[in-house]
Structure 1
Amino acid sequence: MNDVVNAVLLTEVFVTLFVIMDPPGTIPVFLSLTSGRSPATIRKAAWQAVAVSFFVVTVFAFFGQGILRYMHISIPALQGAGGLLLLLVALELLTGNEKEPTATQDVNIALVPLGTPLLAGPGAIVAVMLFVQRVDSVATFVAVALGVVLVHVALWLAMRFSVNILKVIRESGVLLVTRIAGLLLSAIAVQMVADSVRAFVNGEG
Structure 2
Amino acid sequence: MSSVVDTVLLGEVLVTLFVIMDPVGTVPIFLSLTAGRSPATAKRAAWQAVAVSFFVITLFAFFGQRILDYLGISLPALQCAGGLLLLLVALELLTGKEEEASAAGDVNIALVPLGTPLLAGPGAIVATMLFVQQIDSFADLTAVALGIVGVHAALWLAMRFSLPILRLIREGGVLLVTRIAGLLLSAIAVQLVADAVRAFIAGEG
Q: CA RMSD in A?
A: 3.3
**Residue in 2 that maps onto 1:153:** 157
| Residues 86 and 185 in structure 2, CA contact (< 8 A), matched pair in contact too | yes
Using the TM superposition, name which of 15-24 and 52-61 deviates more.
15-24
**Residue in 1 that maps onto 2:8:** 3
Equivalent residue letter for 1:157: F
Instruction: Report the Cα offset of residue 46 of structure 1.
Output: 4.6
| Residues 10 and 147 in structure 1, CA contact (< 8 A), matched pair in contact too | yes
| Residues 19 and 185 in structure 1, CA contact (< 8 A), matched pair in contact too | no
Structure 2: stretches of 5+ with no match in the other structure: 1-5
| Residues 29 and 100 in structure 1, CA contact (< 8 A), matched pair in contact too | no
1:60 aligns with 2:32: no
**Residue in 2 that maps onto 1:103:** 105
Q: 2:201 & 2:8 partners in 1: Cα distance? A: 37
Against the structure 1 CA distance between its residues 60 and 171, is the aligned structure 2 distance closer, same or farther, given a 3 Å change threshold?
farther
Equivalent pairs, count: 189
1:121 aligns with 2:116: yes
Q: 1:79 & 1:97 partners in 2: Cα distance? A: 25
Using the TM superposition, name which of 45-54 and 65-74 deviates more.
45-54
Against the structure 1 CA distance between its residues 184 and 27, is the aligned structure 2 distance closer, same or farther, given a 3 Å change threshold?
closer
Q: TM (normalized to structure 1)?
A: 0.72
Q: TM (normalized to structure 2)?
A: 0.72
Relative to total residues, which structure has the larger helix share, 1 or 2? 2
Instruction: Report the Cα offset of residue 68 of structure 1.
Output: 1.8
Instruction: Report the Cα offset of residue 73 of structure 1.
Output: 1.1
| Residues 51 and 115 in structure 1, CA contact (< 8 A), matched pair in contact too | no
Instruction: Report the Cα offset of residue 2 of structure 1.
Output: 6.5
Identity %: 47
